[in-house]
Amino acid sequence: MTKTSTSKKTGGRPPHYTLEQVSDVIGKLVAEGMAPEEINAATVKIRLCADHGVSDGIRDEALGQVVANLLEARAEDERRALLKSLPPSVAPAVDDVVASIKKELLLLVARQNATCMSAAEAECEALRAEKRIAYCRIATLEVKVREQGSDLATISTERDAALADLTAVREDLLAAQLELEHRGRDVSAVDKLITELRSPAVR
């Protein structure tokens, strides 16, 4: 019986990379004079393949995120190192300058706020004055309306009284006419009697 053995492939490029490898490549690129903003997944990938034997099949998107994170970490380390290198007297001096600037800025804002408040108060006072004038006009109109209403009531009363007087005059006139007619009939009867008495036949 013959055994067949499968030989394992050896060698070739490793499919993955480590943070240390990416950081090493970034450090070399910076040391060679490349600006951090010029470093990206493409530039790092070339050096990973060349310096660390990483497969060129790695994903650019994932590598780009790793590169961005490491560059930000390097920048933060540099900022901290710069701040740490300052003499001890610098920080208090900066605090004093910042405090002075803050005070002036607050005063500027306060003055602007006071100006705005004054303008707003003046506008409100003008509106209140207009409101008072409007109320006065309304009150005056209400008085005129009441006076006109009173005048109308007086006119209506006088009209009713005049109508009543006119009715009474008409009634008095009718009564006088009736009286005149009655008296006229009485005068006619007397004249007739006198005429009959003067008649020769009566004599």
Cα(189)–Cα(195) distance, integer angstroms? 10
Flag whether 151 is in a domain: no
Return the SS3 of 149. helix
Encoding tokens for residue 134? 């409007």
Is 37 within a domain? yes
Q: 171 lies in a domain?
A: no
Q: Does residue 48 belong to any structural domain of this protein?
A: yes
User: How many separate domains does the chain show?
Assistant: 1
d(CA 123, CA 130): 11
**Is residue 189 in some structural domain?**
no
- Asked if residue 97 is part of any domain, the answer here is no
Tokens standing for residue 102:
């803050």
Phi, psi torsion values for 150, nearest 5 degrees: -65, -40
Determine the structural domain holding residue 74 and report its residue range.
19-85
| pTM value surpassing 0.75 | no
Check pLDDT > 50 for residue 10.
no
Q: Count Cα atoms within 13 angstroms, Cβ side, for 106.
A: 6
Instruction: Kindly state whether residue 126 falls inside one of the protein's structural domains.
Output: no
Q: Using pLDDT thresholds of 50, 70 and 90, give the confidence band for residue 11.
A: very low
Is 107 inside any structural domain?
Answer: no
Quote the CA–CA distance of 40 and 47 in Å, as a whole number: 11
Residue-wise pLDDT tens digits, 28-65: 999 999 999 999 999 999 999 999 999 888 999 999 99
